[in-house]
Amino acid sequence: MGAERINKRSFEDLNADVVRVGLCTSCGTCVGVCATKAIEMNYALDEPLPRLVGKCTSCGACYDICPGKDVPLRDMDRFFFGRERDEEKDPVGIFKSCYRGWSTDPYVKATSSSGGVVTGLCNFALENDIVDAVIMAGWSKDEPARCRPIIATSPEEVAEAARSAMVIVPNNALLAEAVLREKHARVGVVGLPCHVHGLRKLQMKGQPKKLAASVKFVIGLFCASTYYWEGVRHLVREFSDIRDMDEVVRLDYRGGQWPGGMYAVTKDAKVHFIASKHDYTWHFLGAGTFKRDRCLMCTDFAAELADVSCGDIFQPVKPGDRRIVATVTRTDVGEDLVRKAQEAGYIQVESHDPMLIPTSGLGWESKKHAGMYRLIQRREFGWPTPDYQYEPKVVPLDRRLTFPS
Ligand SMILES: Cc1cc2nc3c(=O)[nH]c(=O)nc-3n(C[C@H](O)[C@H](O)[C@H](O)COP(=O)(O)OP(=O)(O)OC[C@H]3O[C@@H](n4cnc5c(N)ncnc54)[C@H](O)[C@@H]3O)c2cc1C
Ligand code: SF4
Ligand code: SF4
């Protein structure tokens, strides 16, 4: 690891090879590892993209950890799990245990995305001296309808950030801020698979040393896609009386009963229902049309490199209760976190069949089938594609896809 050649590439190289050819996932890791604070996320086109705002010393740190252009899954599998995956036998990646779980705190369970396991794990880690802070997606103080990365140091901040936002939030951009400037020596990170890829590249490289050593756990969320902010704006405008997003003081993507839906609160304290997660409107306008382009080339659904990966369960596995979280532990760190959080009474988990994960919703299909196929097609034309080290291959599961009503 330490003997690896250190690339001396600059931000301009990163910009040319990743950002300007549409391979940037907007994970923020380049911003988060820049010691001189030379890079920031810019929202000129409403989507976060890194840009140079200071002096680049060409240290190569941002280029080396960037998961936009390449994610060496084969090396990562060996490094973190001790073996390479079998694409047919490991459809949700390599893992230790597969559970389903929920927060034991009724408030957390009721106000979470899927059952509050992520919130429960973060609260356990903060209150039991495992980490000093958790980097996660939260609400922007300046633009209340939008999400931004936050450094949470208390259960109150974790609770405020609960529930999924269907947009990309460059969580990893806060790494240096949390570790070097706020001096949190031990941090946890909650992120989507692309955030996890950046963090794992950082940990595998071991450089920048202090940042790599500070990441104590990574909780990954299953991810079918994130959507352009323009798509969110479109949904709000087309399906409510709200004409100006500046009127919105709170946007909730998973409000109400599970699976939840989009609600907006305006300055006059009025609550507007926009679309249920299971509505045609959500899927047609949100999920289909406005998927971010880089997400269409992403093949990781179940956060395959995280310590713990969490997602929804669309099958009714417990009569009368739909707020249950698929919880996959992949490393000793993840298994330990889940086990100890259960022992301490923060979450409750029980065994879950891992084969229920690929059949839960359309996420797995969109990555392992559609995403893989798209990569093969794009390569045919020589268009830019991320390099996942494994040749893209469609491996359909031997089963009939059915949806519960
Ligand atoms: C964009 C997105 C797409 C998803 N797609 C799927 C899917 O297709 N299938 C599926 O089964 N599950 C999907 N999930 C995961 C699911 O929505 C829940 O996040 C997961 O089940 C954990 O639920 P929970 O109740 O334990 O989380 P909670 O306790 O509610 O905690 C949610 C955590 O997620 C973090 N978060 C919220 N939005 C983001 C974001 N945009 N980026 C990074 N972190 C964020 C919050 O900071 C919080 O820490 C997706 C999540 C997101 C954010
Ligand atoms: S590290 Fe992340 S945000 Fe930065 S260029 Fe790469 S993919 Fe984009
Ligand atoms: S689909 Fe992939 S690239 Fe897009 S937000 Fe999800 S993990 Fe990141």
Per-residue pLDDT of 102-141, as tens digits, reads 999 999 999 999 999 999 999 999 999 999 999 999 999 8
Residue nearest to atom 5 of ligand 2 (CA): 24
**Among 49, 196, 221, 225, which is best to mutate for testing ligand 3, by the most ligand atoms less than 8 A from CB?**
225
Ligand 2 lining (C-beta closer than 6 Å): 14, 18-19, 24-30, 50, 66-68, 198
Pairwise CA distance, residues 269 & 191, whole Å: 31
Centre of ligand 2 from the C-alpha of residue 30, in Å:
5
Average pLDDT over residues 199-227: 97
Q: Would you state the pLDDT for residue 1?
A: 42
- In one letter, which amino acid is 261? G
When pLDDT is averaged across residues 183-211 and rounded to a whole number, the result is 98
Average pLDDT, the chain: 93
What percentage of the chain carries pLDDT values higher than 90? Answer: 82
d(CA 192, ligand 3 centre) in Å:
6
φ/ψ of residue 130, rounded to 5 = -90, -40
Q: State the Cα–Cα distance between residues 37 and 175, nearest whole angstrom.
A: 11
- Ligand 1: atom nearest CA of 253 is 38
pLDDT bin (cut points 50, 70, 90) of residue 235 is: confident
Reference 71, options 277, 298, 236, 227; nearest CA is 298
pLDDT confidence tier of residue 305, bands split at 50, 70 and 90 = very high
State residue 279's pLDDT score.
72
29 C-alpha to ligand 2 centroid (Å) = 6
Ligand 3 centre distance from Cα of residue 49 (Å): 14
Distance in Å, CA 176 to ligand 3 centroid: 22
Ligand 1, residue 313: give the atom nearest the CA: 11
Q: What are the CA-CA distances from residue 56 to residues 20, 51, 63, 193, 198 (Å)?
A: 18, 11, 12, 28, 20
Q: Which of 257, 69, 251 is nearest to 167 (CA)?
A: 251
* Domain boundaries defined on the chain: 93-223+297-380, 229-289
Contacts within 8 Å (CB) and 24+ apart, 5-11: 6/60, 6/64, 6/207, 7/60, 7/63, 7/64, 8/58, 8/59, 8/60, 9/58, 9/60, 9/63, 9/64, 10/56, 10/58, 10/60, 10/63, 11/38, 11/39, 11/50, 11/52, 11/56, 11/62, 11/63
Residue 218 — pLDDT band, cuts 50, 70, 90? very high
364 closest CA partner among 312, 322, 327: 312
The alpha carbon of 56 and the centre of ligand 1 are apart by a number of angstroms equal to 34
Query: Residue 259 has what pLDDT?
Result: 85
Going by their DSSP bridges, the two strands 187-191 and 133-139 should be labelled as parallel
Closest-CA residue, ligand 1 atom 33, reads 162
Burial state string for 172-207 with b = 16 or more CB within 10 A and e = fewer than 16: bbbbbbbbeeeebebbbbbbbbbbbbbbbbbbbbeb
State the CB neighbour count (10 A cutoff) for residue 50: 27
Phi, psi of 276 (to 5 degrees): -80, 150
DSSP assignments along 135-156, one per residue: EEEEE-SSSTTSEEEEEE-SHH
Indicate the pTM of the whole model: 0.96
Whether the per-residue pLDDT at 236 is higher than 50: the answer is: yes
Per-residue pLDDT at 285 exceeds 50: yes
Atom of ligand 2 nearest to the CA of 68: 7
Stretch 25-36: mean pLDDT = 97
> Burial letters for 312-322: b for 16+ Cβ neighbours within 10 Å, e otherwise?
bbbbebeeeeb
pLDDT at 396: 81
Comparison of pLDDT for 334 and 361, the residue scoring more: 334
Q: What is the pLDDT of residue 206?
A: 97
**Per-residue pLDDT tens over the stretch 141-155:** 899 999 999 999 999
**Residue 226 Cβ < 6 Å to ligand 3:** yes
Where does the pLDDT of residue 3 fall: very low under 50, low under 70, confident under 90, or very high at 90 and above? very low
Q: Quick check: helix, strand or coil at residue 373?
A: helix
Distance between Cα 23 and ligand 2 center (Å): 8
- Mutate-to-test residue for ligand 3 from 18, 19, 25, 29, highest number of ligand atoms within 8 A of CB: 25
Percent of the residues in the chain that have a pLDDT greater than 70, as a whole number = 95
Q: Stretch 35-47: mean pLDDT, rounded?
A: 96
